[in-house]
Structure formats: structure tokens, C-alpha cells
Structure 1
Amino acid sequence: MTANAFMSISLDPPLIAISIAEKARMLGKIQASGRFAVSVLASGKDKIAWHFAGKPNPELHGLFDSLDGLPVVRGALATFSAEVRDEILAGDHTIFVGHVRALNWDSNADPLLFFKGKFGALEDTRKAPAGMLQIETELMW
């Protein structure tokens, strides 16, 4: 499923939270297993996000890898596996707080963002001050 609510809760111990609608099929699966995984998609992966948001794309194949025995999206910016620590009923959603058991990340990718019904990406708008040159160098040891 594609969720629009995921956050870091604590660094020590490492805790994350997800919010799942009471009518979502994923809710019962998480409650039964006591575990969940999160895949933070990289910029340009909007087709995958729409696919798991209920708009299936038959052209997508081989989407999954495994992390700690749970399915995660191949090529994601970051993936987490977590064990449910707390379950909190909040309106028409359940918030699961999970203790992170494994994670992977790609520090070279940018995240896929969603705002006002559209996907987007971060843009680096910082510029070097006038008169400064940006020079790439290679360190040699």
C-alpha cells in the first residue's frame, strides 16, 4: 500500500510510526504478524507509488526485495523493517509504532515527495556567492 503518513519517533531506541486506515487490508496483516516494512521511494518512482495506491500498473514487474524477511520495494531510497511496539487507535486510523530491526538506504538518491495531489522532488536552490567558483576536486592519497 502507499501511505502518506510515516515518521521517525526516536533514535534511542530506533522507533518509527505509520498510520493505517481502519478499512485498509494492510491493517489486519500488520496486526496478525506484529511486523511491518516501510519503503521510502526515490524521486521518479511515482508510478510505483500510484500502483500501490490502488491504480495498478500492469507494466510494473519484479518490484520487491526482502529486508529481514519482509517485502520492500527494490530501488527504494530507504527501507525499514520493524516490530510493532505500540498500536494506537486514532479516529479512523491505527498508528503503529515500530522498533526498527533492519534498515538500508541510498545516500545518493532524493526522496519522492507528494504535495497538493502531485508528486515532486527536492530542488537545490542554493547558489554559490557571486565571485566564487565551484570546483570539483579528486583527492589522491
Structure 2
Amino acid sequence: MLSNASPEKATPPNFSAAEFRSALGMFATGVTIVTALSETGTPIGLTANSFNSVSMSPPLVLWSLARSAGSMAAFSAGSHYAINILSADQQDLAKQFAGKGLDRFAGVAFTPGAGGAPLLEGAVARFECFNRSRYEEGDHVIFVGEVERCTYAQGASPLLFHGGKFYAEHPL
């Protein structure tokens, strides 16, 4: 007989953090740069591959950010952010926005989107999001954005990430 009762909590993992990271790396993802404006109006942004669709009606997407991230306060407090999906030729830009202790926007062309969030030139798609809700889970915060506007480049190839390396799209 099947029981509908759920266990009270998960069993402890039988793997190391390194094994978990390696297993997660087997899931190929696109590469995004999430951008916004700080309270002082300074552009902020970071490389993220934790992006996914949530709902078509209303149009919702999600991404996540480590609680320890220096930009957490700005992303939490801001009304809008943009998710820029990078093109296959923007690997250097992905690395620039993943770096620490540098001006991530140095030499980067962008236009202001909803709420001033930077829309990066050359991105294959852009989602301009209202900062709808946040959920604290583990060592990250999950951001759910309500998409107010989106654009995409027909036929463009996205930048992909798999197993710790960048790839370009190749149809089978």
C-alpha cells in the first residue's frame, strides 16, 4: 500500500560538494548577465547560468544569486533588472562579468531598459523584469521576475556552458 506521508526531512547527502558541483556541470545551460542599477544609479551586473522560465501567464522567469554576493542588496532592493542571454561570441564578456575587483562595465556597450537596467549590445535575447519576488533557499536567493518586455535576435547562436567550459551551439 502506498503512503501519502512525506518524510519530515531529507536524508543527509552521500556525496561531497565537489561531486555535487561536477554532477550539476553535466547540465548544459545558456549563459546570462543579469544587470540592474544600484541605489546610486551605478550599473551592476554579474554572469549567471541559473536562469529558467517559470510561467507563460503571467510571463515569469527566475535566476539565483549567492547570499554572500556583494550585489545582493542592490538586486534585492531594486524595482527592475534585465537578463541578457549572451551570444556565442560573448565569452570574454561572460568572463568579465564573472570577475571580481574590476569595473565590469568597462568598455561594455548598453542601453537603459526598464527601471534603467542595462541591456547589453549583442545579446541574443533580453528580458526586462519587474523584481516580483524572492525566496531564500540554502546559500542562495531565488529571484522571480515578471517580464515586462523581451527581445531576441532571430537565428542567433547563444553561448553555452557545460562541464566548466564554454561552447557554441551546433545543431544535430
Aligned-pair Cα RMSD in Å: 1.8
* Residue 43 (structure 1) aligns with: 88
1:120 and 2:163 matched: no
CA distance in 1, matches of 2:65, 2:58: 22
- Normalised to the residue count of structure 1, the TM-score between the two structures is 0.81
- Normalised to the residue count of structure 2, the TM-score between the two structures is 0.67
Cα deviation for residue 57 of structure 1 reads 8.9
CA distance in 2, matches of 1:85, 1:57: 28
* Residue 133 (structure 2) aligns with: 86
Cα deviation for residue 104 of structure 1 reads 1.2
The residue type paired with residue 166 of structure 2 is: F
1:7 and 2:33 matched: no
* Residue 67 (structure 2) aligns with: 22
CA distance in 2, matches of 1:84, 1:57: 24
Q: Which runs of 5+ in 1 are unaligned?
A: 126-141
Q: Deviations over 1:60-86 (max 9, x none)?
A: 613322222211211100011111222
CA distance in 2, matches of 1:97, 1:4: 15
* Residue 25 (structure 2) aligns with: none
1:107 and 2:154 matched: yes
Q: Which runs of 5+ in 2 are unaligned?
A: 1-45
CA contact under 8 A between 2:135 and 2:141: conserved in structure 1?
A: yes
* Rg comparison, structure with higher value: 1
Matches within 5 A, 1:44-59: 44-54=89-99
CA contact under 8 A between 1:15 and 1:97: conserved in structure 2?
A: yes
1:61 and 2:87 matched: no
Identity %: 36
The residue type paired with residue 93 of structure 2 is: I
CA distance in 2, matches of 1:62, 1:9: 29
Of the structure 1 ranges 22-31 and 49-58, higher mean CA displacement relative to structure 2 is found in 49-58
Cα deviation for residue 121 of structure 1 reads 1.3
Cα deviation for residue 36 of structure 1 reads 1.4
Q: Which of 74, 79, 87 lines up with 2:121 in the alignment? A: 74
Q: Deviations over 1:1-44 (max 9, x none)?
A: 00120011011100000101111122111111132110000111
